[in-house]
Each structure stands twice: as structure tokens, then as C-alpha cells.
Amino acid sequence: MKPEYLFKAGWRVFFLAAGVWAVISVAIWTVWLTGLAQGDNITGVAPQLWHAHEMIFGYAAATLGGFFLTAVPNWTGAKAAPERFVMLVAGLWLAGRLAVCLAGMLPAAVVAAVDLAFLPVLAAKVLTQLMARPKAQNMMFLLLITMTWIGNLLVHLEWMGLADTEWQGLRGGLLAICAMIAVLGGRITPAFTRNAMLRAGIDETRMPVSHRWLDLPGSVLPVLLALAVLVGAPDALSGTLAVLAGLFAAARLTGWRALALPGEPIVWALHLGYGLLALGLAVWGLALLGLGSELGALHILGIGAIGGMTLAVMSRASLGHSGRALIAPLPVAIAYGLIPVAVALRWAGSAFPASFYLPGMIGAGLVWCLAFALYLGALGPIFFAPRPDGGAA
């Protein structure tokens, strides 16, 4: 392994950081749940709020950094970010994690300033790269990054004692990232499936099918939902939007040939993540309308949609951009399969709180940590290694 390669591309450092933080942060949360860690707060923030914040604005934000610093130059032909910039934004992300962890020892305004610095700097770089070939369908990601940042801002406003917007920000940030998955997943899932089917020699008449009358609302509704939550819309409106978004996501998925390549986990993992997005949106919407557990539904989105889709994309991008075959190593394939197990355990912990609350939550945490430990064990060396073919990092 050669540490000097870590900052040669955004996917390297951020996909490594996302995996490491996925394990560390959930391990801390799980230890607290067992009662081995005492106290009513973690690092100055209530445990459940620290956990939620770090999953959304720590783990998921790291995946955004790796994805956009890698994908946007490919979309536009712009020059990739230099090593010094990758080091800068990685440092800002890490500083945010440290600031939140030390929230009990630092002024709330300092914690906010440090933690809120990462996404604007990332967005500025994405903007300069998108301007090389501006397209509306790509520029919209700046809106989604901004919405994610606003969600974090709303959390910090309450931590500073200036507003009562903590849960609004957490939900809004979560749903803004889900909106990115709806848009990006709607592009890459059928496209990557088609490519794999062609490589497998499957007849072109059986390729994935997309319909504009499904794709447009399937992309727009999740964005509107995130906006509604960020502005504090009534639950009836947000719930209705969520149910509709989930139904359209499910309808889109039916045409993408999810079962065409059962022997290729790196393909079906994308379908699994998108399917959990559809399920999570619909179930969360129903919960807002009075049917079912809202926390259980939020974790279908957080663990299943965000965790599952980011794991699928990170592993695929790491293999592809490192010059390796797009074949998921066995530990990574197992990790894909563990994500719905974690979802089921966490949902059961909310659905049956009297008998299964702690076992479900602790079990979900352990399964999540195992999934990302497998990911790191299998792909971790790639982040520090040159391409086997000698190509660019």
C-alpha cells in the first residue's frame, strides 16, 4: 500500500472515510445502546441525535464527496480536482466530525462553523466543473447539495439555541440525500444493468425499459418532498408526497429487469438499494398519515436506501476507477445482502418496541458494522494502491 495515492482522486479518500466512519460511528452508538457507555449524551449531544446527525451529515456526506469529485469530471470533461483540493475538502469533512464529537467542549457556533464548511466548498468545485458543460439535469445536483447543507444548518441552529428545527433538519437532510438517490439511481441503475446484460449476451429486446411519464415524477417528487420537509410543511402534505414518490419509484423499478442477472451482485445491489428507497418513502409517508412507525420507516431509508445504494455505488466505482473488473468480491457481495437484514432488524425494533426494541437496534448496528467491515477488508487496499494498468488514479 502507498499512502501517497490516497488523495490522488476523490473516490479514494472519501469512500475510505465513509466506510471507516460507517463502522466507527455505529459502533459507538451500539455500545451506548448496550449500556456499556454511561451518560445521557455522547460528546455533548444527545445520543440518538448524534447518531442521526453523523449518519446523514457524516457518513452520507462523505459518499457525496467521493461521488461528485469523481463523476462530474466524467460528465463534463473538466479537469479532475487536484490532490491539494482533495486534501482540503477531506480535511474539512474530518474537522466537522471532530467538531461534532467535541460539541460538549466547544462553543456551539464554532461547531456549526466547522461542520458546515465542507459542503459549500465541495459545491463550489462541482459548480466550476459543471460549467465546462452545463446541463440542467446535472446542475440540479447543486440544489440537492444545498438542501442537504440547509438540513445541517437547521440542526445547528437548534444546537445554538436559535430555533426549534433539529428534527426538521435531520429529516430534511435525509430526504435530500434520498432525492439524490432517486435521481442518480434512476439514471445509473437501468444504464448499468443494460451494460451488464449486453456483456452477458442477453438479447436487446429484453433490456431495461424507462418511461418519461414515470421518470419525471419519479425524480421530481422526492425533491419536492425534501423541500416540503425543510420548510416545515404539514405532515399530511409531506406524507402524501412521500407515498406518491415511493409508488413512482416502485413503478420505475419494475421496468429495469432487476432479476436479469442474479449472478452479478454488483448489479442487483443497485436494484436492491432503489427498491428499499421505494419502500422507505411509501412506508414513511404512511407513517406521517398515521399508519405505522415513523422511526422504523426512516431507518428503511437511512439503512436501506442510503446505506444500500451508497455501498453499491462506492464498491462499483472503486473497482472501476482502480482499473479492476466490475465483479464484487465475495465479502462485498455478502455486505450487500446484510443491508436488508439490518433494515429488518431495525424496523422490528420500532414495530415491536415492547419485546424487540433493544435487540433489534443492537442487532441492526452489529450487522451494519459487519457489512462495512467486509467492504473495507475487501476494498480498503485499493484506496492506497496504483492502478494495475498504470492508468490515472
Whether 175 is in a domain gets the answer yes
| pTM recorded for the entire structure | 0.95
Whether 390 is in a domain gets the answer no
User: How many degrees, rounded to 5, is the angle at CA 153 between CA 151 and CA 155?
Assistant: 75
Whether 392 is in a domain gets the answer no
3-state secondary structure string across the chain: CCHHHCCCCHHHHHHHHHHHHHHHHHHHHHHHHHCCCCCCCECCECHHHHHHHHHHHHHHHHHHHHHHHHHHHHHHCCCCCCHHHHHHHHHHHHHHHHHHHCCCCCCHHHHHHHHCCHHHHHHHHHHHHHCCCCCHHHHHHHHHHHHHHHHHHHHHHHHCCCCCCHHHHHHHHHHHHHHHHHHHHHHHHHHHHHHHHHHCCCCHHHCCCCCHHHHHHHHHHHHHHHHHHHCCCCHHHHHHHHHHHHHHHHHHHCCCCCCCCCCCHHHHHHHHHHHHHHHHHHHHHHHHCCCCCHHHHHHHHHHHHHHHHHHHHHHHHHHHHCCCCCCCCHHHHHHHHHHHHHHHHHHHHHHCHHHHHHHHHHHHHHHHHHHHHHHHHHHHHHHHCCCCCCCCC
pLDDT along the chain (393 residues), means of 10: 83 98 96 74 83 98 97 93 96 98 94 98 96 90 98 98 97 98 96 94 89 95 98 97 98 94 95 98 97 94 98 97 94 98 94 84 97 98 86 65
Whether 391 is in a domain gets the answer no
Whether 171 is in a domain gets the answer yes
Whether 268 is in a domain gets the answer yes
Q: What is the pLDDT of residue 127?
A: 96
Q: Residue 173 sits in a domain of what CATH number?
A: 1.20.210.10
Domain that holds residue 51: 3-384
CA distance 320 to 21: 23
CA distance 346 to 150: 27
Length of the chain: 393
Q: What is the pLDDT of residue 39?
A: 58
Interacting residues of 67 by C-beta distance below 8 A, sequence separation 6+: 11, 14, 184, 313, 317
Q: What is the pLDDT of residue 353?
A: 75
Whether 389 is in a domain gets the answer no
Whether 122 is in a domain gets the answer yes
Q: Which residues pair with 45 in a beta bridge?
A: 42
Domain count, the chain: 1
